[in-house]
Structure 1
Amino acid sequence: MAKDVISPPLIDIQQVTYKYPVKRTMQDHNQLVTEPALQNINLQIQSGEYVALLGHNGCGKSTLARHCNALLLPDEGNVYIAGMDTRDVTKHGMIREYVGMIFQNPDNQLIATLVEDDVAWGLAVKGYPLPQIRERVAEALDAVNISHLRQLPPYKLSGGQRQRLAIAGILALRPQCIIADEASSMLDPFTRQELSELFSRLHRKFGLTIIQVTHLLEEAVYAQRIVIMERGRVIQEGTPAQIFADVERLQELKLIIPDPLKLVVYLRDAGFAISNQALTIEEIAQEIANA
C-alpha cells in the first residue's frame, strides 16, 4: 500500500523571535533597548486551512502576521512561504503574490477614483491584458457582493463596503492566502459578522488559505483552527469547539466572552445538553430548539 504523501506547509514559521526597539528612560537619559514581540514561535499553516490568530491587544499576533508576507523579518529563526525563505529579498515579490494582506483601515489600500478601477489597479501594474483585467475585476467584485457598486467612488461606500473593496483588490490578484489583520476593528458588530461570514465563504468556495487576526472570540468561531497568543508566544491551539469549551481559561487570558457563549454556559449549568460544536448564534438556536 502506498504511503500518504504529506504536503509541506504553505507557511512554515520556525523558532522565530522578533524584537522591537523601545526607548526607556534610565538614569535621567533615554536609552534605546529592545523588547521581544515574538519569542521562539513555531507554527505551520497548511494550504487551504482557515486559522484564527487570537489574543488580546499587544500579544504579538499582528507582528506574527506581518512575518507571513515578509513585511517583517525575524531576528532569529526562519519563515518559509511555499518553501521560500523570507530573508531572501529577491523572493519578496513572489511571496506577496502568494500571501495578500487586508489591514484595519481599508482607506490605506484604496487608491483609485472608482470601485472597479481600484480592483483593476494591481493587475494593470503587473501588466495583465485588458480582457483578463476585466474578467478578474468582475469575478472579484462578484465574490464579495459589491458588483452593483462598481461605478461608485470609494468614498461613497460604507466602512464595510470599503473593506470588501480592499478584499476584492487582493482577490483579483489570486493569492493562495489572505491574511486579515484586525480587518473588522473599525466596523460595527453586524458588519463584523458579515465580514467573518465572507471570509468563511471565500475559504469554502475558492479553497483559500485564510488567516484571521482578531481579539474577538465571535470571529474565531468560523476558523478550522484557533491559535492563541500571549506575550509573544503561542500558548494554545485547537479547534473552535476545543478552545471554547474552557471559558474560564479564555477569561484568564482577558478575552471578552461573547453573549452567545455566556448563554451556552448558563444553559449547560441549568442542565441543557448543548453540544460543544454549537458556536454560532444559528447553531446555538438550533440546539435550544432541539433540547
Structure 2
Amino acid sequence: MEQRIASLPLIDVQQVTYRYPVQNAAKDQELLVAVPALQNVNLQIQKGEYVALLGHNGCGKSTLARHCNALLLPDQGKVLIAGMDTRDVAKQNMIRERVGMIFQNPDNQLIATLVEDDIAWGLTIRGYPLQQIRERVAEALDAVNIRHLRQLPPDKLSGGQRQRLAIAGILALRPQCIIADEASSMLDPFSRQELAKLFAQIHHMFGLTIIQVTHLLEEAIYAQRIVVMERGQIIQEGTPAQIFSNVERLRELKLIIPEPLTLVEHLRSAGFTIADHALTIEEIAQEIANA
C-alpha cells in the first residue's frame, strides 16, 4: 500500500473537460458556452517535476492550471492532487495547502504594510508559533533574495520585487507545488528573465514541483518538460530541446520565437552543426567554439 501511494503523481488530470459559464440576461441564469476551454485533457505531473504549460493566450493553459488547486472544478473527468479529488469540498483546503499559486498581478496577493509582515501573515493566521514564523520568513526572504527589503512597505518595491515577495509568501507555507500563472506578464524583459531563473533556483533548492504557465518560449527553457496547449487540448509534450527543435511548428502556434532560436536557424542554414540542447546564447556560443 505504501509503495502504491508513493508512486501516485502529485497532480493527475483525468479526461477533464471544462466550459466557462456565461450569464443569460433574459432568463437570469448561468449557461455553459458552446466551445469548452478544456477538452478531454489528460496530464500527470510527478512530485518534484518542473513543467511549463506553453501556448498563446486563450489556449486553455491558465484554465488547466486553476484546476490543479481547485480554483476551478471540471465539468467532466476529475483532478486528483496527491490522490485527493478536487471536487471533494472537505479536501479543498488541504489541496490548496499543497499547491500554491502566483498570479499575474502580485498586488492581489500582498496584504501587510511591511515586506516581512506580508510573508508572516499566512503563517500567523494558521497559528504557527512566533519562533517558527521568524525562521520561515527569514528562509523565504533569502530564497527570493529580498532580505534587504524586509522593512519596506510593499508599495515601495519594483514590480519584480513585489512578485518575489508574493513568491516568498507562498514559499513560507512550504507547499509541495507552486503554480506560476503568467507571473511575469506585467514585468519588463530583464525582470521576466530574472523571475524565470528564480523559479529554476527554487526548484533546485527545495525540490518543489513547479508549474510555469507562460506564452514565452524563453521562460519555458528552464523546465524539465514542456506541455504545449492549443484550443483547450494538449497537442505536444517533450523536453525543451525536443519542443524547440521544430521552430516552424512553434510559429504556427502563434508563439514568438526568441532571438537565440532564430540565431540557431540562421547558423544551421549557414552550415553550422548546432545541437538541439543548445538553447541559450551561452550554449550556442559553446557549440560554435567546439565546431
Equivalent position SS for 2:282: helix
Q: CA deviation at 1:287?
A: 1.9
Q: Does 1:157 align with 2:157?
A: yes
Distance 2:127 2:32 in 1: 44
Match of 2:177 in 1: 177
Equivalent position SS for 2:116: helix
Structure 2 portions without partners, runs of 5+: none
Equivalent position SS for 1:36: coil
Structure 1 portions without partners, runs of 5+: none
What is the TM-score when the length of structure 2 is the normalising length?
Answer: 0.95
Using a 3 Å threshold, how does the CA distance of structure 1 residues 258 and 70 change in structure 2: closer, same or farther?
Answer: same
Match of 2:74 in 1: 74
Distance 1:283 1:13 in 2: 35
Letter in 2 for 1:136: R
Match of 2:111 in 1: 111
Distance 1:4 1:92 in 2: 23
Match of 2:12 in 1: 12
Letter in 2 for 1:216: L
Q: CA deviation at 1:21?
A: 2.3
Match of 2:258 in 1: 258
Letter in 1 for 2:52: A
Match of 2:94 in 1: 94
Using a 3 Å threshold, how does the CA distance of structure 1 residues 95 and 249 change in structure 2: closer, same or farther?
Answer: same
Match of 1:239 in 2: 239
Equivalent position SS for 1:152: coil
Q: How many percent of aligned residue pairs carry the same amino acid?
A: 80
Q: CA deviation at 1:288?
A: 2.5
Distance 1:94 1:237 in 2: 29
Q: CA deviation at 1:281?
A: 2.4
In 1, are the aligned partners of 2:21 and 2:30 still within 8 Å (CA)? no
Distance 2:117 2:90 in 1: 29
Equivalent position SS for 1:191: helix
Match of 1:270 in 2: 270
Distance 1:281 1:219 in 2: 14
Using a 3 Å threshold, how does the CA distance of structure 1 residues 238 and 165 change in structure 2: closer, same or farther?
Answer: same
Q: CA deviation at 1:8?
A: 1.1
Using a 3 Å threshold, how does the CA distance of structure 1 residues 78 and 264 change in structure 2: closer, same or farther?
Answer: same
Q: CA deviation at 1:285?
A: 2.4
CA deviation string 1:159-197 (max 9, x = no partner): 000000000000000000000000000001111010010
Distance 1:48 1:99 in 2: 12
Equivalent position SS for 2:19: strand
Distance 2:274 2:130 in 1: 54
Equivalent position SS for 2:18: strand
Q: CA deviation at 1:264?
A: 0.6
Q: CA deviation at 1:31?
A: 9.7
Q: CA deviation at 1:32?
A: 4.7
Q: CA RMSD in A?
A: 2.0
In 1, are the aligned partners of 2:19 and 2:32 still within 8 Å (CA)? no
Match of 2:126 in 1: 126
Letter in 2 for 1:133: I
Equivalent position SS for 2:36: strand
Q: CA deviation at 1:199?
A: 0.4
